[in-house]
Amino acid sequence: MSDLFSLQDKGVVITGGAGILCGTIAEDLAAAGAKVCIADYDEFRAHELAKSIEAKGYFALPIRLNVLDKKEIQEAFVCALDSMGRIDVLINGAGGNKKEATTSEELSFFDLPAEAVRSVMDLNFMGTFLPCQVFGKYFAKEKRGNILNISSMSAFSPLTKVGGYSAAKAAISNFTQWLAVHMCQTYAAEIRVNAIAPGFILTQQNRFLLTDEKSGQLTQRGRLILDHTPMKRFGTPEELCGAVRWLLSEASKFVTGVVVPIDGGFNAFSGV
């Protein structure tokens, strides 16, 4: 079983790799023996995480990357390939929401700035689509490869307030299924495309929605989420790592086109 789940020497590129969720995944994959490329718009955080990983004796390559710039993606691909020797996995972790694209008592749906909603759509969906084009072309040539996208609970059922984010994540789930079929049918059955859909994990991106900015206590929305989560708690970034290892290893070699919820039962619960 250890061989089946092995990630030893696999080359893994993670966009948004310096973020809380993908940074935790990067550390776990490096500890499992993978070579990780931390590609992130925040160059400083990417270098800091890489230094932390290297200090533990593992391989980490930091690269500054704007996932909406195809030329930068291509340059990052070349750099990662030259440094790691091979690329086996692309994890599309770049994404997130904006307060300016979120409805509230102060900001109605009718007043949401188009540019804010468009930026959320672009960052999440096009920020997944464009890297898939660049790295997918390499996988097609090699007749092997593994793409893991990051979806969301809001892709299954849209969450209130975050209309643009929900639509973007739903697009990622749909695109994951489409690309899985396309790569298998057109290029090679050994190219797999899957996604994970994290449940509610407190990060800087959602903290203002789930906890009060001043008191740190649960907001009404935060309490409602826990009421609809059978496990009655928020998740931790570390709890994503097991599913990620499974989807990136030979243990899941007959799995493609799936979106795996990691959510404490939230998606399974009807509310009654």
Average pLDDT over residues 226-252: 96
In a domain, 112, yes or no: yes
Q: Which domain holds residue 124?
A: 11-199+235-261
186 pLDDT above the threshold of 70: yes
In a domain, 214, yes or no: no
- Structural domain total, the chain: 1
* Contact criterion met (CB below 8 Å) for 72 and 47: no
Give CA–CA dist 64/8, Å, rounded.
25
* Contact criterion met (CB below 8 Å) for 265 and 230: yes
Could you report the per-residue pLDDT of 81-96, keeping only the tens digit for each? 999 999 999 999 999 9
Contacts 24+ apart (CB under 8 A), 107-113: 109/163, 112/163, 112/164
Q: Which comes out higher in pLDDT, residue 205 or 117?
A: 117
Average pLDDT over residues 163-188: 98
The SS3 of residue 188 is coil
Could you report the per-residue pLDDT of 35-84, keeping only the tens digit for each? 999 999 999 999 999 999 999 999 999 999 999 999 999 999 999 999 99
Phi and psi for 137 in degrees, rounded to 5?
A: -65, -40
| pLDDT for residue 205 | 64
Average pLDDT over residues 160-184: 97
208 pLDDT above the threshold of 80: no
Residue with tokens 């030979």: 250
Which residues are identified as catalytic? 165
Give the domain CATH number at 109: 3.40.50.720
In a domain, 267, yes or no: no
Q: Which comes out higher in pLDDT, residue 264 or 219?
A: 264
Average pLDDT over residues 13-37: 97
Query: In 3D, which of 137, 146, 21, 163 has the Cα closest to residue 73?
Result: 137
In a domain, 188, yes or no: yes
For the ranges 126-140, 161-175, 195-209, 230-244, the lowest mean pLDDT is seen at: 195-209
Q: Which strand ranges, in their side-by-side order, compose the sheet holding 60-64?
A: 60-64, 35-40, 11-15, 89-92, 145-150, 191-198, 259-262
In a domain, 48, yes or no: yes
| pLDDT for residue 217 | 86
Whole-number mean pLDDT of the chain?
95
**Amino acid making up residue 66:** N
* Contact criterion met (CB below 8 Å) for 129 and 175: yes
Task: Quickly state the pLDDT bin for 221 (edges 50, 70, 90).
Answer: confident
pTM for the model: 0.95
Bridge-partner residues for 139, per DSSP?
none
In a domain, 53, yes or no: yes
In a domain, 92, yes or no: yes
